[in-house]
Structure 1
Amino acid sequence: MHTRRRTTVLAASLVLALGAVPLAAPAFASPAPAQTSVSAKGTKTGPDTAALETALKNLPDKDGTFALVRVGGTDGGWRGSAGAHDLASGRAADPDARFRAGSTTKVVTAAVVLQLAAQGAVNLNAPVQRYLPGLFPRTFEPITVRQLLNHTSGIQPGDGLGDTFEEVYAHRFDTLPPRKVVASAMAKGPEFRPGREQHYLNINYTVLGLLIEKVTGHSYASEATRRVLRPAGMRDTYFPGTDPAIHGPHNRGYQAVKRADGSTEFLDVTEWNQADRWAAGDMISTTADLERLVHHLFRGDLVPRPQLKEMFTVPSRIKGATMSAGLQRFAFEGRVYWLKSGARYGYGTVVAATRDLSRTLVVSVGATDAKSEGMNPVTERIARAALK
């Protein structure tokens, strides 16, 4: 038994081979004053402000057009932003801007499911086939709701609108309904027997979105908003559905694309229909709202503590497993963080926190390689500076 992941947190950087393409002049917004705590031994425990400021220098660059950072927790806090709102004007990035939060949507979806479990509407040990009769063909063994939450279901990925960036970009305004994505996954049959391996895939949370709608009788977006966004005070967060625009203040997103002559074009990918990502990754949010989510969630304000344990429990029988219900366990510099990353074209996000909320991090980067296999270099250096 083993675990599979498409990306490795803080993995070696994937460097893009770019031609001589001029970027907008760097713009740096001064960070808010750092707040530093002192431990019982008299040592400073706050974030390394010098390292964070260094991590934000020289943006925009070939790897990212902007970065928005919020470090918080009882250790102390720091806020900073750098880069450009858009490459055409080069004006400073908006630190309060909305962005595509990608797979951090899964944290919200997991919280909704765990709320339903606390209310007795869903049994985490019950097969999902009980709640969604007729969805799974007989080739699938019973898959528990918990196995969907922690990516041990064995369901294969559903089809998208293409296999290459060029293909999906050409269809960026088309709608691919979540049910069609699920149907394509079902047609492939299982990848492995449920509970035997861990394979992080969007399809698990797409099925959970269908589960939420079936059990509640309401849309996923309305239930997620009522149960999580509003209680957490996430007023700038929403689910766009088939709308390709980001409404409200936002920084433009770009993808680095190689030209035939070997140079690189930075293609504006801000507008994009994310309907197929749905409960697995279509949320639009802000760094402040994601920080609110982490604090309310970890304190037990959104999910009762018996069910909240699922978010901090990794399958013990699967070697190398790191994913829990909506989160990922990550040990770094002597601390254990629970995090979730997200990537959509033009935007990359990381949310991380210690269980006791002594250190939290929310970062949004205008990643020019947002769907690459490795972590974006800008995101990586910020995360290393913030979490050490």
Structure 2
Amino acid sequence: MTTRRLLLRTGVTATVALTAGAVTGTSAAAAPAAHPRRDALQQALDDVVALGASGALAELRDGDGVWRGGSGVAELGHSRPVPTDGRFRVGSVTKTFVATVVLQLVGEGRLGLDDPVERWLPKTLPAGDRITVRHLLQHRSGLYNYTDEVLSRIEDFIRDRYRTYRPRDLVALAADKPLLFEPGTSWSYCNTNYILLGLVIERVTRRAYGDEIARRILRPLRAWRTELPGTDPFIAGPHAHGYLPVERDGGIQPVDITAMNPSVAGAAGEMISTAADLNRFYRALLTGRLLRPAQLRAMTTQLAGPLEYGLGIFRVPLPSGTMLWGHTGGIPGYVTYALTTEDGGAQLAISLNPWGGDPSPALEQLVLTAFSGTAPTTRSATAAVRIPLLDRGW
């Protein structure tokens, strides 16, 4: 198995013993009496850990109230359980926040979806006159994904984990590569797009894109525990540790990657948040609190690619007919799922620390249980829903 595959997968298919046994958490909001649906949610979360994570947490908000659960350990080699209110790196979920600010600027008449990148970032891209803001939002630019180079070798990434990257340096990694396709003619997920959008926000507003996210979204929603850390490598407050599986001494060993300089992800995936804050954000977004009707329609109706990707958000149909919207995120050590119903009536946020295996079936079961409204009669190893982890780097 190559080191590249080890880095970009959510886990590794190998028989690996954790250095600490899984510690199962319980729902913070569960009543003492048996509650079949909440028991099923907790069981699915426990299965996530059993199938390939050192720890996991989740929060579901719906008409029945709030359920929080945790499973596994916060740090390998220790018995401390995962904090259910813990903070974590959200990776590409950052993209929906960035897209929301871009669409707010469009609604204010300060930016156009069909503005070419060249208008706002002159001489940044050879094809900047053919790539538009809409192409960036929807991953239809054809640009090379810079993380394919930054994350090409796991040992190099670990060695450089505290390096500071400037956004324009990351863009430069892609600008010299040939386009994958003519802009607007196809779809390919690309982190370079959102690094550019961060720069566009800064050019339009004359403020850092992180400051705009804080001013326009985080403070109005009182999402006090969400931040854009910039170059700060540490996660403050309660949190679970993240790990990378590395081939060493003839076996697979975990390397603690919790502390890392997130400037390598920037506007494509640097944010730190909590399950509660993510749920609050997606509810506000889908219920029209953050965007004007025309911009919310554009975000959720102009879909592209096999994954039905809108403008910074994607759609997941469930077998029941329920339509979910949200984003997933993967940054070394952390995987995030953030999903909400189309009417904003229910939200689910999950964070896990992948390690040794494939927790996807349990994650899908957790999603089905959360949005079914009832406990499943049987737990299936293969859920009839596929939720893409769009970027296993971010």
TM range (shorter): 0.7 to 0.9
Matching residue within 334, 348, 352 for 1:365: 352
Provide the C-alpha distance between the structure 1 equivalents of 2:96 and 2:273, rounded to a whole number of angstroms: 13
Given that 2:135 and 2:141 are in contact with CA atoms closer than 8 Å, whether structure 1 keeps it comes out as yes
In the other structure, the counterpart of 2:171 is: 182
Q: For 1:184, what is the secondary structure of its paired residue? A: helix
Matching residue within 13, 16, 19 for 1:16: 13
CA-based RMSD: 2.5
Aligned: 1:323 with 2:319: no
Aligned: 1:198 with 2:187: yes
Given that 1:27 and 1:60 are in contact with CA atoms closer than 8 Å, whether structure 2 keeps it comes out as no
Equivalences for residues 324-339 of structure 1 within 5 A: 324-333=310-319, 334-339=321-326
Given residue 52 of structure 1, which amino acid in structure 2 is its aligned partner?
Answer: L
User: Greater helix percent: which structure?
Assistant: 2
Given residue 19 of structure 2, which amino acid in structure 1 is its aligned partner?
Answer: L
- Rate the CA distance shift 1:152–1:276 in 2: closer, same or farther, 3 A: same
Provide the C-alpha distance between the structure 2 equivalents of 1:194 and 1:268, rounded to a whole number of angstroms: 39
Structure 1 residue 136 displacement after superposition: 1.8
| Count of residues paired in the alignment | 359
Structure 1 residue 313 displacement after superposition: 1.8
Q: Deviations over 1:261-293 (max 9, x none)?
A: 33x322211001110211110000011110110
Provide the C-alpha distance between the structure 2 equivalents of 1:140 and 1:196, rounded to a whole number of angstroms: 15
Aligned: 1:93 with 2:98: no
Q: Deviations over 1:62-108 (max 9, x none)?
A: 61111111112336542211111212221111111111010000010
Provide the C-alpha distance between the structure 2 equivalents of 1:166 and 1:319, rounded to a whole number of angstroms: 33
Matching residue within 144, 156, 170 for 1:167: 156
Equivalences for residues 259-298 of structure 1 within 5 A: 259-262=248-251, 264-298=252-286
Given that 1:365 and 1:379 are in contact with CA atoms closer than 8 Å, whether structure 2 keeps it comes out as no
Structure 1 residue 246 displacement after superposition: 0.9
Structure 1 residue 343 displacement after superposition: 0.8
Q: For 2:309, what is the secondary structure of its paired residue? A: coil
Matching residue within 49, 55, 70 for 2:44: 55
Structure 1 residue 319 displacement after superposition: 5.9
Structure 1 residue 351 displacement after superposition: 0.4
Provide the C-alpha distance between the structure 2 equivalents of 1:55 and 1:13, rounded to a whole number of angstroms: 18
Matching residue within 317, 342, 349 for 1:355: 342
Given that 1:67 and 1:364 are in contact with CA atoms closer than 8 Å, whether structure 2 keeps it comes out as yes
TM-score, with structure 2 as normaliser: 0.84
Given that 2:10 and 2:355 are in contact with CA atoms closer than 8 Å, whether structure 1 keeps it comes out as no
Which consecutive unaligned segments of at least 5 residues does structure 2 have? 1-8, 373-394
Structure 1 residue 26 displacement after superposition: 2.1
Equivalences for residues 1-388 of structure 1 within 5 A: 16-19=13-16, 21-33=17-29, 48-57=37-46, 60-61=49-50, 63-74=52-63, 77-137=66-126, 139=127, 141-158=129-146, 160-262=149-251, 264-315=252-303, 320=306, 322-333=308-319, 334-368=321-355, 376=360, 378-388=362-372
Farther-moved stretch of structure 1 (182-191 vs 92-101): 182-191
Provide the C-alpha distance between the structure 1 equivalents of 2:345 and 2:311, rounded to a whole number of angstroms: 21
Farther-moved stretch of structure 1 (244-253 vs 279-288): 244-253
TM-score, with structure 1 as normaliser: 0.86
Structure 1 residue 357 displacement after superposition: 1.9
Provide the C-alpha distance between the structure 1 equivalents of 2:39 and 2:25, rounded to a whole number of angstroms: 15
Provide the C-alpha distance between the structure 1 equivalents of 2:38 and 2:56, rounded to a whole number of angstroms: 15
Provide the C-alpha distance between the structure 1 equivalents of 2:50 and 2:76, rounded to a whole number of angstroms: 11
- Rate the CA distance shift 1:340–1:361 in 2: closer, same or farther, 3 A: same
- Rate the CA distance shift 1:246–1:146 in 2: closer, same or farther, 3 A: same
Given that 2:51 and 2:359 are in contact with CA atoms closer than 8 Å, whether structure 1 keeps it comes out as no
- Rate the CA distance shift 1:123–1:191 in 2: closer, same or farther, 3 A: same
Provide the C-alpha distance between the structure 1 equivalents of 2:359 and 2:188, rounded to a whole number of angstroms: 18
Provide the C-alpha distance between the structure 1 equivalents of 2:155 and 2:129, rounded to a whole number of angstroms: 37
Provide the C-alpha distance between the structure 2 equivalents of 1:180 and 1:145, rounded to a whole number of angstroms: 20
